[in-house]
Structure 1
Amino acid sequence: MVLKVAAEDSPLATVDEVVRVREYNEERDKVAVEKMERLCEMVGQRGKPSLVTDLLGDPKCRIRHFPTHIMLVALLYGEQKEIVGVIRGCVKKVTRGNSEFVKLAYILGLRVSPTHRRLGIGTKLIRHLEEWCKRKGAEYAYMATDCTNEASINLFTLKCSYQKFRTPTILVQPVHAHYKPIPSTITIVPLPACLAESIYRQIYANSEFFPEDIDAILSSALNLGTFMALPRKHLPKWNPQMSTFPPSAFAILSVWNTREVFKLQLKGVSKLTQACCVGSRLVDAWLPCLGLPSFPNVFKQFGVYFMYGLHAEGKQGLRLMKGLCNFVHNVGRDDHGCAAVLAEVSQRDPVREAIPHWRKFSWAEDMWCVKKLTEAKQPSDWINSRPSSTMIFVDPRDF
């Protein structure tokens, strides 16, 4: 389908420019897409510190782990044909609360060339992706962005009819040179994938966004494992190899190795700031007994671990969760390519208080916007309903 670009408050838009949206072809488009996305990152810095994402030479790597996914590109036909926009999306089945499942589309990775913005290209990419998602049976679509990203929020809410829906919190813990303490009264055990799946299906049955294919996530090569923290005195009474239910007091989480998907790098920071960060690492390494927090080397490419499925039960649950998060930090500390450990949870989730993080590097609100794609009548409207649980399951493949 060939679409003319509609002028949207821009004197640069002309009716002679024509845009065609089609599916990404790795052989033909890879170099052009990478070039355009690097240009978007360079323009986005504007002399300020900027976090740059490198998708490890594979523009589709963030969506390949979904069984149903697509990547679209926008080509501008003028004096020469060039790629001026890109968008990614997938379709999965998730809970909407109260054990009800719906087909949901996730939209991510929308980029438009800086020289062709405000011409309606982003809107057209979104609409083409929505049509594809509807053909795949999606009933709703959602996107996530930083609550301060007004341009993205306005595009989706004002032009594409999305509604602000949920605002979970992203918590970031830099990986220090020293190990974090784990109380001797806590035991941490790895769980078999089948047991982890069973426990998660019980815990998140009434939550939102829990994926039906949790088994595929837990068995993925990017999943570093699922771990449970227990009071040491409980361990002899509970065998993870034989049990089918969790004990009365525990904390659980899984770890996703995002550094195998993309690398991050902080650019635009002064040399003085970099020197101060190096100094903090030296002090941390020479005098670990002081437990001084250090700033990892984020000025070179680094990876992160993403913790998901975080849940705690019992009176000691939050203490167990803190110890479990420290355990993940220590694993990341031994992995020299990991500079931070992240988690994303609902603002009302009690476990939020037990997750170690630095406030300066965390996001108080990660804006999730949702749109209904079909006209089919349903027993209740998910978009306007209240959350059925204090928990939200954040799919690590979305991150």
Structure 2
Amino acid sequence: MSLKIAAESWPNPPPEMVEEPLIVVKEYDEERHKVAVEKMERLCEVGQRGKPSLVTDLMGDPICRIRHFPIHVMLVAEYGEEGAVVGVIRGCVKTITRGDSLYVKLAYLLGLRVSPTHRRLGIGTKLVEHLEEWCKKKGAKYAYMATDCTNEPSINLFTKRCQYSKFRALTMLGQPVHAHYRPINSSIAVVRLAPRLAGAVYNQLFAYSEFYPKDMELVLSNKLNLGTLMAFPKKYLPKWDPKTGILPQNFAILSVWNTKEVFKLQVKGVSPLKQACCVGTRVLDACMPWLRLPSFPDVFKPFGVYFLYGLHMEGKHGGLLMKSLCSFVHNVARDDSRCGAVVAELGQRDPIRKAVPHWKKFSWAEDIWCIKNLEDAKQDIHIHGLSDWITSRSSALPIFVDPRDF
């Protein structure tokens, strides 16, 4: 009689007779795992039915969200003798600032999924632990993850089982792209900066921020980067020489990342009545365009997003200039039939939040970032003379959101 049969036939089998499920964590192999991973992640989406949810379509590329990092990996969890894929997690390692002019290697964990039929078996914990070990071998000293504040299962997994700490809270601001162009003040000049000049400006502005990537030049030269825009009063235009490195007294700057070439989003679980109301706004807008109604786009079909990053403003006109830049990007997105929204993520104390147009129904009030020290903090202080980033830094510092993280 096998151990498994004996345990099943015993009313209360002792622990040593209970067979542990066979779970093996491996690196993702496209030829072997691609179809199974896509099927498993669709099952995870089915579990969200009954309430509105934002679903991500990876467009047949399971590692699309990490492939633009030089150091990245995707792990899969195989269950049982047949090796069924029941879980996945993605991760990358990058070098970023921690707010005190020092750089540190940081791991970013994302895309954790466990099949609804195989939960409560410790698969999520095992995937996180294996990915942490992989990242430590690549030199990562810290690891972090990001999730919506309402995602209690994910927060509990990381904070209670994996010893992560809640670190920063950010706000996701979404602006649907509607049928009309947004006006831009005629006294404002909007110029596009070359990648090298944009990098020099960002290095100057974000040197003492948190999470600013050391490989910023790779971000700005990436094919998904649509460009870096700067706005300032036209009266400064003949006076400003970018070669001097001296920035105008009043300006705003941001860059645009084209996520629609990587993945698409779709809103599911919305009642037919609400969908009909959204269709009604578009019909009314088409019949009476002179009213310039902000009609709701068709987000119930897959749509793309322009992600704004590197947002910064200075001077008494900074707010107006930032709004003009956002309007400029909206107008570009309006001409792109595949783009349904413009999104930015900012720290909750960042004054730029007030200058970025957004809809409350299309935004997330709190995006939680949780972080963990992968090394012994006391040993790090003793050897390197460094304070532990998690406990020593103030949340008032500017936060740079890497567009590759979105």
Q: TM-score, normalised by structure 1?
A: 0.94
Distance 1:158 1:313, change over 3 A: same
Match in the other structure for 1:335: 336
Match in the other structure for 1:65: 68
> Could you give the per-residue CA deviations for residues 23-82 of structure 1, whole angstroms, max 9, x where no partner exists?
00001000000000001001122x22222111010000100000000000000014x320
Letter in 2 for 1:395: D
Match in the other structure for 2:6: none
Match in the other structure for 2:34: 30
Partner Cα separation in structure 2 for residue 92 and residue 268 of structure 1: 36
Answer yes or no: is 1:86 the counterpart of 2:93: no
> 1:291, CA displacement in angstroms?
2.9
Match in the other structure for 1:217: 219
> 1:243, CA displacement in angstroms?
4.5
Match in the other structure for 1:75: 78
Answer yes or no: is 1:196 the counterpart of 2:203: no
Match in the other structure for 1:394: 401
> 1:290, CA displacement in angstroms?
2.5
Deviates more, 1:356-365 or 1:62-71: 356-365
Letter in 1 for 2:275: Q
Deviates more, 1:124-133 or 1:47-56: 47-56
SS of alignment partner, residue 390 of structure 2: coil
Runs of 4 or more consecutive aligned structure 1 residues displaced over 3 Å after TM superposition = 285-289
Match in the other structure for 2:5: none
For the Cα contact (< 8 Å) 2:232–2:251, is it kept in 1? Answer: yes
For the Cα contact (< 8 Å) 1:178–1:284, is it kept in 2? Answer: no
> Could you give the per-residue CA deviations for residues 312-361 of structure 1, whole angstroms, max 9, x where no partner exists?
01110111001100111111111001111000011111111100001122
Letter in 2 for 1:28: R
1:49 to 49, 52, 70: 52
Partner Cα separation in structure 1 for residue 28 and residue 373 of structure 2: 26
> 1:281, CA displacement in angstroms?
1.6
Distance 1:277 1:76, change over 3 A: same
Letter in 2 for 1:42: V
Deviates more, 1:132-141 or 1:49-58: 49-58
The within-5 A match list for 1:248-287 is 248-287=249-288
Match in the other structure for 1:385: 392
> Could you give the per-residue CA deviations for residues 122-142 of structure 1, whole angstroms, max 9, x where no partner exists?
000000000000000000000
RMSD: 1.3
> Could you give the per-residue CA deviations for residues 285-309 of structure 1, whole angstroms, max 9, x where no partner exists?
4434423221101111100000000
Computing the radius of gyration over CA atoms, which structure comes out larger, 1 or 2?
Answer: 2
Answer yes or no: is 1:166 the counterpart of 2:168: yes
Match in the other structure for 2:327: 326
SS of alignment partner, residue 111 of structure 1: strand
Distance 1:174 1:357, change over 3 A: same
Partner Cα separation in structure 2 for residue 18 and residue 233 of structure 1: 69
Match in the other structure for 1:315: 316
2:120 to 108, 118, 130: 118
SS of alignment partner, residue 364 of structure 2: coil
For the Cα contact (< 8 Å) 1:108–1:143, is it kept in 2? Answer: yes
> Could you give the per-residue CA deviations for residues 222-278 of structure 1, whole angstroms, max 9, x where no partner exists?
0000000111111111244x4533211100000000001101111222322222111
Q: TM-score, normalised by structure 2?
A: 0.92
Tell me the percent identity. 67
For the Cα contact (< 8 Å) 1:208–1:387, is it kept in 2? Answer: no
Letter in 2 for 1:368: W
SS of alignment partner, residue 167 of structure 1: strand
Letter in 2 for 1:329: H
> 1:389, CA displacement in angstroms?
5.0
Q: What are structure 1's unaligned runs of at least 5 residues?
A: 1-13
Partner Cα separation in structure 1 for residue 260 and residue 317 of structure 2: 32
Partner Cα separation in structure 1 for residue 24 and residue 304 of structure 2: 35
Letter in 2 for 1:326: S
Match in the other structure for 2:12: none
SS of alignment partner, residue 368 of structure 2: strand
